[in-house]
């Protein structure tokens, strides 16, 4: 006979405002099998948990139902409390009367009746819960970091400094990411290269970091503590071990006019190249699409001039498999491109701003390269069309960001600050020039940020115009900027020499594909989702995978570095144990009924279903049935829904339990 205890939480007023919690406690107390029921203001608090523990011991409870918020929020909390009181934690279930009831209803009478029914269903379910032993799995104490920008570099260094091996995978030929492209950084104006390149060198020299550049994640299998990651090392056509980085191949390459992506296509590079002189590793890669040798079979000059014989045209893509226990995703961002977008796309584009048509309308990253000492103009601010110094420059903020009608509603967070920085860099380099900024609001919530922004106006003479721009068009060698000044209520027209658009931050291209390989969730913009916006901001809902940097949402450098170190700390917490406990909510096959159709195997997203032979005592094969590896099963229940003979069931969610829940209504 069950002795079930039911605990109804008020959640402050979140539940009690629309649900009569005392009445719920009274009514469910009458249900068969319920031995005790009560309500309390905050069940998750220390006194609330003590109340629960005390009741289990004093009332000799056999099962527990906590009627409160979503189990995603506090199931672990209450199961731990139940375990502390001596019960098996899987004999505790939560009834969600907050998200599923009080938050979505207004009528107190109706909500109370519904709450009683929700709790009644969980009472029926918990009666049939089994005692489940915790499953322990070993932990592989190596980490994978995906993305070699500042986020990935910081996370990799922190983990490696703790003595754990790190595999760092970067898609481009060099690590460094966007930060390596920046000229100077706010709010202190220190040179990005000067603070970034030493960290890149640290990565290259770290004995615990294995660096794979020009590589991509092909496949991810396994689970927390035990991932198998297949990495595609794209053919570099240059042997990394032999290459000394002398650069003779790049000097001799006859193909010279390929726009360099690193310089936002302003500078040119050869077909065998490193993206920038401070690249790590300093090993060139052959761009096979543009190489004469690969296109026509002739040339081969780079191979002839290479002293150590590192150039290898025969190199092919190879797949390697690495075993890791934790994954940090740090794939960063990409800038919104403002050209017109294909029809049906979520993002609408800014055809009216002439980007791509008017050469002197550029984005913020292009301006960074123009202002950078290592950029294509050697740090002189010269406009792309004719190389003249722009004397009137207009910066326009919020291009794409906060523009719901253009498809993006979020704020990109960094543009107010980097535009203020741009006006300063411009003022330092073009003394007789004038910078104008069109802006909606200035958002400067960071340490020393507002002071920095004010400096751009008060000391560096930028003119800020509150209002947006409707249209840009070329008139002779000027760009006419038509906008509004909403502070004064007038239309403004500026004839500018150059226009810089502060375009929105978006996740990297292919972020969704990578998320599907990793099995992590992402929002409609393809930003990766954290497990909890406030309390678990660096963890994914998928155990063992952590987030760092702008792949989770727009972030500046200080925030990115902080999050990367936080993700590293989470990895270290995981690595601090030799064995990992995991939830035993897994599927079990009832072998008697299984006919071996293996539909379950086809649908299992975790690859947990194996084939098992059933033999008699003489060793004759009777049949082949499905077997669910409990270490791999993710407990999603897809197999149970698929099985035609109803021979596989998820513990805690058996058909018997679900039928009992329905019948209680």
Residues that bind other proteins (CB under 8 A): 340, 343, 348-352, 405-406, 471, 473-475, 480
Q: Are 336 and 505 in contact (CB under 8 A)?
A: yes
DSSP letter at 528 equals B
- Closest contact distance (angstroms) between CB of 316 and other proteins is 44
Place of tokens 């253009």: 406
- Closest contact distance (angstroms) between CB of 346 and other proteins is 13
Nearer to other proteins by Cβ, of 275 and 349: the residue is 349
Nearer to other proteins by Cβ, of 469 and 589: the residue is 469
- Closest contact distance (angstroms) between CB of 363 and other proteins is 18
Q: How many helices (H) and strands (E) does the chain have?
A: 17, 34
CA-nearest of 117, 127, 124 to 91 is: 127
| Helix ranges (DSSP H) in 489-621 | 511-518, 557-575, 599-603
Residues 557, 151: Cα–Cα separation, whole Å: 8
- Closest contact distance (angstroms) between CB of 398 and other proteins is 15
- Closest contact distance (angstroms) between CB of 353 and other proteins is 9
CA distances from 473 to 109, 246, 354 (A): 62, 46, 7
Place of tokens 């898609």: 171
Nearer to other proteins by Cβ, of 480 and 603: the residue is 480
Report DSSP letters for 95-111, one per residue.
EE-TTTTGGG---HHHH
186-195 long-range CB contacts below 8 Å, 24 or more apart?
186/417, 186/418, 186/420, 186/421, 186/449, 186/452, 186/556, 187/417, 187/446, 187/447, 187/448, 187/449, 187/451, 187/452, 188/448, 189/421, 189/424, 191/373, 192/372, 193/278, 193/372, 193/373, 193/374
- Closest contact distance (angstroms) between CB of 441 and other proteins is 21
Nearer to other proteins by Cβ, of 344 and 387: the residue is 344
Nearer to other proteins by Cβ, of 387 and 476: the residue is 476
Q: Are 446 and 556 in contact (CB under 8 A)?
A: yes
Query: How many Å is the maximal CA-CA distance in the chain?
Result: 96
Nearer to other proteins by Cβ, of 135 and 482: the residue is 482
Nearer to other proteins by Cβ, of 339 and 656: the residue is 339
Nearer to other proteins by Cβ, of 77 and 474: the residue is 474
- Closest contact distance (angstroms) between CB of 348 and other proteins is 7
CA-nearest of 320, 328, 281 to 142 is: 328
- Closest contact distance (angstroms) between CB of 111 and other proteins is 23
Residues 640, 61: Cα–Cα separation, whole Å: 31
């Amino acid at each position: 006979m069950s002795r079930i205890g039911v605990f109804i939480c008020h959640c402050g007023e979140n539940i009690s405002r629309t649900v009569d919690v005392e009445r719920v406690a009274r009514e469910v107390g009458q249900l068969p099998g319920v031995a005790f029921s009560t309500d309390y203001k905050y069940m998750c608090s220390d006194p609330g948990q003590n109340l629960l523990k005390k009741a289990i011991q004093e009332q000799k409870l056999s099962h527990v139902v906590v009627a409160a918020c979503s189990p995603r929020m506090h199931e672990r909390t209450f199961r731990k409390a139940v375990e502390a009181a001596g019960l098996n934690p899987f004999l505790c279930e939560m009834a969600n009367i907050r998200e599923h009831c009080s938050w979505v209803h207004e009528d107190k009478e109706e909500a109370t009746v519904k709450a009683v029914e929700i709790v009644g269903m969980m009472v029926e379910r918990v009666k049939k819960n089994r005692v489940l032993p915790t499953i322990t799995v070993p932990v592989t104490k190596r980490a994978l970091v995906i993305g070699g920008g500042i986020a990935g570099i910081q996370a990799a260094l922190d983990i490696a400094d703790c003595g754990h091996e790190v595999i760092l995978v970067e898609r481009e030929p060099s690590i460094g990411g966007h930060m390596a492209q920046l000229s100077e950084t706010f709010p202190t104006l220190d040179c990005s290269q000067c603070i970034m390149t030493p960290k890149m060198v640290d990565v290259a020299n770290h004995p615990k970091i294995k660096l794979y550049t020009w590589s991509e994640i092909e496949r991810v299998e396994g689970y927390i503590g035990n991932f198998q990651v297949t990495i595609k090392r794209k053919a570099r056509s240059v042997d990394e071990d032999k290459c000394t980085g002398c650069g003779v191949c790049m000097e001799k390459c006859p193909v010279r006019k390929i726009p360099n992506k690193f310089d936002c296509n302003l500078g040119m590079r050869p077909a065998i190249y490193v993206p920038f002189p401070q690249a790590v590793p300093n090993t060139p890669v052959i761009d096979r699409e543009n190489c004469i040798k690969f296109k026509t079979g002739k040339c081969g000059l780079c191979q002839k001039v290479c002293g150590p014989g590192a150039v290898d045209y025969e190199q092919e893509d190879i797949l390697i498999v690495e075993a890791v226990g934790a994954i940090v995703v740090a794939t960063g961002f990409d800038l919104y491109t403002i050209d017109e977008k294909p029809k049906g796309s979520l993002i609408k584009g800014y055809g009216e701003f002439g980007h791509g048509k008017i050469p002197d309308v550029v984005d913020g990253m292009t301006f960074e390269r123009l202002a950078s000492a290592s950029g294509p103009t050697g740090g002189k601010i010269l406009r792309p069309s004719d190389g003249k110094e722009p004397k009137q420059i207009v910066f326009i903020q919020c291009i794409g960001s906060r523009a719901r009608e253009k498809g993006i509603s979020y704020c990109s967070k960094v543009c107010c600050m980097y535009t203020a920085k741009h006006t300063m860099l411009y003022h330092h380099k073009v003394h007789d020039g004038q910078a104008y900024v069109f802006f909606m609001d200035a958002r400067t919530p960071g340490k020393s940020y507002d002071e920095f922004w004010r400096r751009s106006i008060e000391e560096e003479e930028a003119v800020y115009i509150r209002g947006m721009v409707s249209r840009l068009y070329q008139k002779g060698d000027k760009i006419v900027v038509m906008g509004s000044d909403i502070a004064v209520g007038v239309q403004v027209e500026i004839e500018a020499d150059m226009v810089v658009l502060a375009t929105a931050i978006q996740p990297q291209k292919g972020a969704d594909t990578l998320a599907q390989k990793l099995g992590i969730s992402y929002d409609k913009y393809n930003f990766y989702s954290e497990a909890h916006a406030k309390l678990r901001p660096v963890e994914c809902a998928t155990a063992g995978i952590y987030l760092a940097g702008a792949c989770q949402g727009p972030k500046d450098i200080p925030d990115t570095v902080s999050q990367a170190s936080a993700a590293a700390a989470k990895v270290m917490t995981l690595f601090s144990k030799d064995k990992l406990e995991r939830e035993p909510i897994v599927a079990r096959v009832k072998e008697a009924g299984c006919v071996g159709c293996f539909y379950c195997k086809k649908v299992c997203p975790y690859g947990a279903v194996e084939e098992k032979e059933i033999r008699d005592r003489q060793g004759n094969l009777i049949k082949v049935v499905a077997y669910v590896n409990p270490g791999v099963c993710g407990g999603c229940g897809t197999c149970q829904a698929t099985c035609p003979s109803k021979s596989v069931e998820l513990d805690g969610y058996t058909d018997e339990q679900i039928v009992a829940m329905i019948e209680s209504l």
